[in-house]
Structure 1
Amino acid sequence: MAPVPGFMRTIGPSAPRVAQISIPGTGYHRRLSMDMLAVHAQSKGDFPALICGDSVLTWADYIARRNSLANALLEEGLKPGETLVQYLHNSIESALVMAASGELKTTNTPVNHRLMPKEVAYIVSNSDAACVVTEPEFLPVFEEIRGDCPNVRIWIVIGDAASCPEWALPFDDLTGSTDPVSLPEDAPEEGLAMIYTSGTTGKPKGARRGGIASPAQAMAWIQGFGLTSDDVHLAAGPLYHSAPMAFFSLAQVLGNTSVIMPKFREEEALSLIERHKVNSTFMAPTLVKRILQLGPDVIARHDLSSLKSLIVAGAPCPQKVKEDVMSLIGPVLYEFYGSTELGINTILKPEDSIRKPGSCGQASGVEIKLLDEDGKEVPTGEPGELFVKRNPMTFNEYYKNESATADAARDDWVTVGDVAYVDADGFYFICDRKIDMIISGGVNIYPAEIEDALHRHPEVKDVAVFGIPDEEWGESVHAAVQLIEGSILDEDSLIAWAREQIAGYKVPRSVSFHAEFPRDVAGKLIKRQLRAPFWEGHESQIV
């Protein structure tokens, strides 16, 4: 296995906190720093590490400000192992908070800033947060809930000190030594990350995990996605989601320059790719669709020739989107299957996206099993619940939720309930979430396949398929549809069109039309909100 071009060149005898690693069975043996940010600051100090708008932070300044913030937090009483909550837009400051949290070995917990105050209060309280970092825009939220967060000892506000309330500390006043943090002997070996997943039932769960992949995993991902240490990375999605944060963190490890978007705007993303000669980015499929909807003429106005890795995940990526990216941008689209709990599990490369339609790729750096209800492996081509063997990037636990943690595991294997099958070439195909599967007349129906078919209708902008109550069949297939502007497509016409595309038992029995779909800030569809009205008044609900 050859080193990633340029990846190891900065690592030598003078690198700080360097450890020996090897990948068994490969002959691969190199020195890998335990503090890659410090390594890059040492070797490329004057090069830009972070760019956000007109602000640029060099590697030398980045490491100095990270250390200064981490030391200041330590002086304010934040202890290694405690939880730090971020409630921030993407920014250079949010990246500094993330880096300082890792240096201080705390549990970094970014929170979706689109949540309602009571939802934020639950997460801050449930996570046992000792420190909360926010910004002036969100102060009304914390003015309302501060009394419900008794564990928080340190409140920090980024921005103008004049807007900082008396109960908080101005971010710019937190300055400590720029030397590496001197941690107590009982400090954890690594910082953790905790992402609260949007539960389909009940309260959200805090999926807590470590932040250090095994060398074999790191190399599998770096090579699998075509990444190098010379790349420029675009952080397009909100960094409180696990995938944008994971690829931003990987870019940091590689020593990439990272261009940060505070908020996603489709044509601005194209402009940033052109201006900074971006090589890699992660986007949820809906963000890619928004770019494609700009049209060929707008896309052609921007030089996107530098882009070589457009990585998608978080929701099924319609085959039509893959084909349009290939046509309008080039062979750059990578897809993976993964989750906050399981990490990155498969990779589908551009050259396979057309010949393996619907696949999310082959296993990458992990072991996967597909199991039936009895825990037995299913034959090739048959659907089963997807389990991943525990590894350094699977989650440790749902914080303070032993029953949910136990429900996700079978011995040394863990799952989030997705159903998949694998073909003879080792390519995996996600049928659907187990919880989203429709059972109609005793037949299992997987919405993802139907959604992919309906996406091909030229007047369909977006679609969500789910089961609704049916007295005769138990459930029937329903399609919630967004049409393109100006379309007059009706229910009967769409159902008739679907009958020509898919098997009769998969065809939607009913269709509802929507001007907008409920989405989170990353653009990911919240299907349960579309489904819930159909199940009102039913004792048993599939939600």
Structure 2
Amino acid sequence: MTFAAVLARSRPGEIGVRDTTSAFTWEQVDEWLRPTVNALQALDLGPAGRVAVLAWNSAQTLLGYVACTLAGASAVAVNSHLTVPETAYILEDSGARAVLCDDRTAGVACAAARAAGITTVVAWGERPLPDGVTAWHDWALDTGEPRTDLAPRRTLVYTSGTTGRPKGVELPYTSWVGGDTIDVHLQRLTENRMIPFGRHLVVGPMYHSGPLTSTRLLAGGAPVTVLGKFDAQTLLQVIERDRIGSSIMVPTHFQRLLALPEEIRAAADLSSLRYVLQVGAKCPAPVKRAMIDWFGPIVWESYGASEVGTTCMISAAEWLERPGSVGRAVPPFEAYIRGDDGTPATPDTEGPLWFRDTSGHGITYITGARSGTDFTLGEIGRMDADGYVWITDRQSDMVVSGGVNIYPAEVESALIQNPAIGDVACFGLPDEEMGETLVALVVAADPGHPPTRAEIEQHGRSLLAGYKIPKRMYLVDALPRTAVGKLDKRAMKAIPADGTVAITPLDPEVSTAR
């Protein structure tokens, strides 16, 4: 008997999971999970027990992740925007033995699985499926009671870490309740502090660690609504319709909500909301203040990373007293600003922000690379005498656009393969809506026949997910470099606004904005 069968008895008729087109009562959740779990447990998943999930947000996608948990498998969260080569790399690197997908991602999943030597690809949905992909209803057939005495496994997500090459990292111990068996694991999930808030709303894509919180909440007994593509007005309507109690959002979601007409915002019934957690990137202070004014003191902020979970936390009340802060370190972490000699600096000193994991875990990737107990997330900050942290800059070149990490080095290595490009450099610039936007400076291989934006995009999309394609592109005669030949990123960031440097915008947006 799955947890959903138990809930079906105590809450008959309640919708356990729903999305924009379908709804599952707890009884139907149980009927979907039982055969899926049995089918997964019947597979040879190897020593790591990994199953990749490559699908867009839907009720079935959420259930697919939960089925992996109940089967004692490790779900590998794969970005649904990735190309076949990008996906194949993750499948091979993770050691996944099977792929769960939907009818929209089945083509990429099938091709990537073939490249990675995986033969089991299963998809849900109604659209025709390519050869080599099995329909879920033809695969999940055993409706018996699955085993619950197996050990649970942590979900695996991919993050670029401190380099542009994706690295697999398991769900951090701060988010992992453990347990020797699935039964014990499920019991511990019912103690999640967000369960009492009621129905949870998934806003972001489920291959990110924040939205994946929903899998633990559902397994712990909280009903969940899954949004598909983000739409601010739809979000407000769903909160009212489903009496949403909690959600996790990024600053871009806040900005798009605030951009709605005042009459739509004023008419929205948000009285059911009890907890909204902002994650993903530092939120502009005016945006954060406006959201607290609108939503009330229920807006919290979590600062951290997929590798370690939450390292700092701040409530709305604390933030109003210390605008811009990301809060104080939460156990088992201790925060400090690292001085030039490697020791903690005095309060209010700006410098590299570091953390110490007092549990001893630190960051460990599946490759075996480890950070040790002391680590940095690559940002500059300051900390006051009371331990509150402010993020002031970033050490690395990583660009955070709409809460998504983009590494310029990865994009550069893909674009330079275009024979029309002689040199290229990418970097981030501030963007009011997205936080940052990726910019590319392009040097033509043949100045007499420079590449067009369409040519660059077409080439880039064959190697990169669409969100990694630079939103702004400029043609330049040469890239600025330091005296020792290194790219001068500081100088590059000034070029788009520097009237003394000859550049040619490759997109109308930039051309009209200048």
Alignment TM-score, normalising by the size of structure 1? 0.68
The offset of 1:285, in angstroms, is: 0.5
Give runs of aligned pairs for residues 496-535 of structure 1, distance below 5 A: none
Partner SS state of residue 346, structure 1: strand
Match of 1:172 in 2: 137
Contact 1:48/1:257, CA 8 A, preserved across alignment = yes
The offset of 1:235, in angstroms, is: 0.5
Match of 2:328 in 1: 362
Comparing 310-319 with 132-141, greater Cα deviation is found at 132-141
Match of 2:377 among 416, 429, 437: 416
Match of 1:344 among 301, 306, 310: 310
Match of 2:157 in 1: 195
The offset of 1:148, in angstroms, is: 1.7
Give runs of aligned pairs for residues 175-186 of structure 1, distance below 5 A: 175-181=141-147
Which residue identity lines up with residue 431 of structure 1 in the other structure?
A: T
Distance 1:527 1:389 in 2: 35
Q: Name the Cα RMSD after superposition.
A: 3.8
Distance 1:144 1:436 in 2: 32
Q: Name the CA shift for 1:249/1:322 in 2 (closer, same or farther; >3 Å).
A: same
Which residue identity lines up with residue 105 of structure 2 in the other structure?
A: F
Match of 2:271 in 1: 305
Contact 2:170/2:365, CA 8 A, preserved across alignment = yes
The reply on whether 1:233 has 2:179 as its aligned counterpart is no
Identify unmatched segments of 5+ residues in structure 2: 180-187, 409-426, 434-456, 458-465, 490-514
Q: Name the CA shift for 1:169/1:414 in 2 (closer, same or farther; >3 Å).
A: same
Which residue identity lines up with residue 170 of structure 1 in the other structure?
A: A
The reply on whether 1:48 has 2:15 as its aligned counterpart is yes
The offset of 1:324, in angstroms, is: 1.3
Distance 1:222 1:355 in 2: 28
The offset of 1:73, in angstroms, is: 1.9
Match of 2:122 in 1: 156
Contact 2:99/2:113, CA 8 A, preserved across alignment = no
Q: Name the CA shift for 1:46/1:348 in 2 (closer, same or farther; >3 Å).
A: same
The offset of 1:196, in angstroms, is: 1.1
Match of 1:386 in 2: 354
Give runs of aligned pairs for residues 248-327 of structure 1, distance below 5 A: 248-252=214-218, 254-327=220-293
Deviations 1:120-156 (A, max 9, x none): 1211121121111122222332454444211x13111
Contact 2:45/2:98, CA 8 A, preserved across alignment = yes
Match of 1:377 in 2: 344
Contact 1:80/1:106, CA 8 A, preserved across alignment = no
Give runs of aligned pairs for residues 366-515 of structure 1, distance below 5 A: 366-370=332-336, 371-382=338-349, 383-389=351-357, 391=359, 397-400=364-367, 402=368, 405-406=369-370, 408-409=371-372, 412-436=373-397, 480=429
Deviations 1:281-327 (A, max 9, x none): 11111011011011322211221122222211111101101121133
Contact 1:81/1:105, CA 8 A, preserved across alignment = no
Contact 1:209/1:397, CA 8 A, preserved across alignment = no
Match of 1:353 in 2: 319
Distance 2:169 2:340 in 1: 24
Partner SS state of residue 152, structure 2: coil
Q: Name the CA shift for 1:483/1:380 in 2 (closer, same or farther; >3 Å).
A: closer
Comparing 172-181 with 82-91, greater Cα deviation is found at 172-181
Contact 2:34/2:146, CA 8 A, preserved across alignment = yes
Q: Name the CA shift for 1:105/1:528 in 2 (closer, same or farther; >3 Å).
A: farther
Distance 2:123 2:131 in 1: 11
Partner SS state of residue 369, structure 1: strand
Contact 1:372/1:385, CA 8 A, preserved across alignment = no
Identify unmatched segments of 5+ residues in structure 1: 1-15, 17-34, 438-446, 452-463, 467-477, 485-517, 519-523
The reply on whether 1:74 has 2:41 as its aligned counterpart is yes
Deviations 1:438-482 (A, max 9, x none): xxxxxxxxx99xx9xxxxxxxxxxxx9x9xxxxxxxxxxx99465
Q: Name the CA shift for 1:526/1:213 in 2 (closer, same or farther; >3 Å).
A: farther
Comparing 121-130 with 43-52, greater Cα deviation is found at 43-52
Partner SS state of residue 206, structure 1: strand
The offset of 1:44, in angstroms, is: 3.5
Match of 2:70 among 89, 92, 103: 103
Contact 1:87/1:112, CA 8 A, preserved across alignment = yes
Partner SS state of residue 24, structure 2: strand
- Identity over aligned pairs, percent: 24
Distance 1:90 1:352 in 2: 33
Contact 1:386/1:420, CA 8 A, preserved across alignment = no
The offset of 1:69, in angstroms, is: 0.7
Which residue identity lines up with residue 380 of structure 1 in the other structure?
A: P
Q: Name the CA shift for 1:388/1:531 in 2 (closer, same or farther; >3 Å).
A: farther
Give runs of aligned pairs for residues 78-157 of structure 1, distance below 5 A: 78=45, 81-150=48-117, 152-157=118-123
Which residue identity lines up with residue 415 of structure 1 in the other structure?
A: T
Which residue identity lines up with residue 425 of structure 1 in the other structure?
A: D
Contact 1:436/1:542, CA 8 A, preserved across alignment = no
Comparing 525-534 with 196-205, greater Cα deviation is found at 525-534
Contact 1:420/1:432, CA 8 A, preserved across alignment = yes
Contact 1:64/1:178, CA 8 A, preserved across alignment = no
Partner SS state of residue 372, structure 1: coil
Q: Name the CA shift for 1:278/1:136 in 2 (closer, same or farther; >3 Å).
A: same
Match of 2:486 in 1: 540
Alignment TM-score, normalising by the size of structure 2? 0.71
The offset of 1:241, in angstroms, is: 0.5
Contact 2:110/2:133, CA 8 A, preserved across alignment = no
Which residue identity lines up with residue 417 of structure 1 in the other structure?
A: G
